[in-house]
Amino acid sequence: MPTPNSRTRADLIATLTEDIAPVQRIRPMRGGLSIGAATLVAGLISIVFFGFWTGMISGEASGYFWITNGLLAMLGGGSAAAVVASALPRVGQRSNAAIWGAAMIGVLPIAGLLSILSERGAQPVIWHWECSAYALAAGSLVAIAAVAFLRRGAPVSLEHAGWMTGVASGALGSLAYGITCPLDTASHTGIVHIAPVAVAALIGRVAVPPLIRW
């Protein structure tokens, strides 16, 4: 004989079944593409506002410029992949690529500080913290795309998804703005262009989980 609980559950199942409709599967590729597109748009907007830095193609850009932006691209790609993966429920599989990427990029501020110490008195240190603000603004576009994808999915580890969204938006935002910035010293690229990653990670950890809870 059915118990009240089994009766209620049967009613629920009957109601849900009645309304069933085909669904379009959520594909990780689509999440990756939308984050990639947001990065591209952020880059284009940066170029519109700040102009394309021709030093990149004329060979004027220093090694620091390429190393910093290359690592930002790697970290952004790895953490964006982690964001996309976290939108789909699964147990016991979590890539540490983004964590190792973040650790690697942590070398740059140290290199920047060392270069400040060694350059003291030789040339002024270029701070220009507005570069960090522009990078964060560019990263907000990436964050919007990431959160939109996470909301369509079913993230089961909200804190992890929050951290990864923050790291991805910070790294890709800094990359998108960074290609327009002609200040390519070790101190400027290593500190001012890396700081947005740490700031965005913290913002992501705090702000994203309430937005993607389901």
Partner 1 sequence: MLADEPTLARLMAATQAGDKSACNVLLSEVGMWLERYFNRRVPPHAIDDLVQDVLLAVYTKRATWDPSRPFLPWLAAIARYRWVDHLRKVYKHDSKELFEEDGIADSEEDVVMARVSLETLFGQLPETQASAIQLVKIDGLSIREASAQTGQSESMVKVNIHRGLKKLSAMVEKAD
CA–CA dist 150, 119 (Å, integer):
45
Look up tokens 């990263």; give the residue: 139
CB contact at 8 A, 173 and 136: yes
If one asks whether residue 8 binds partner 1 (CB under 8 A), the answer comes out as: yes
Residue 73's Cα: distance from chain center in Å?
10
CA distances from 192 to 34, 103, 129, 149 (A): 27, 17, 6, 29
In whole angstroms, the minimum distance from the beta carbon of 82 to partner 1 comes to 16
In the shown chain, the binding pattern of residues 71 to 90 toward partner 1, with x for contact by CB under 8 A and - for none, equals ----------------xxxx
CB contact at 8 A, 41 and 141: yes
Residues in 10-69 at the binding interface with partner 1, rule: CB under 8 A: 10, 12-14, 16-18, 20-26
Which of 2, 92, 124, 210: binder of partner 1 (CB under 8 A)?
92
Pick between residue 1 and residue 21 the one whose CB is nearest to partner 1.
21
If one asks whether residue 124 binds partner 1 (CB under 8 A), the answer comes out as: no
Which residues bind to partner 1, rule: CB under 8 A?
5, 8-10, 12-14, 16-18, 20-26, 87-92, 153-154, 156-157, 214
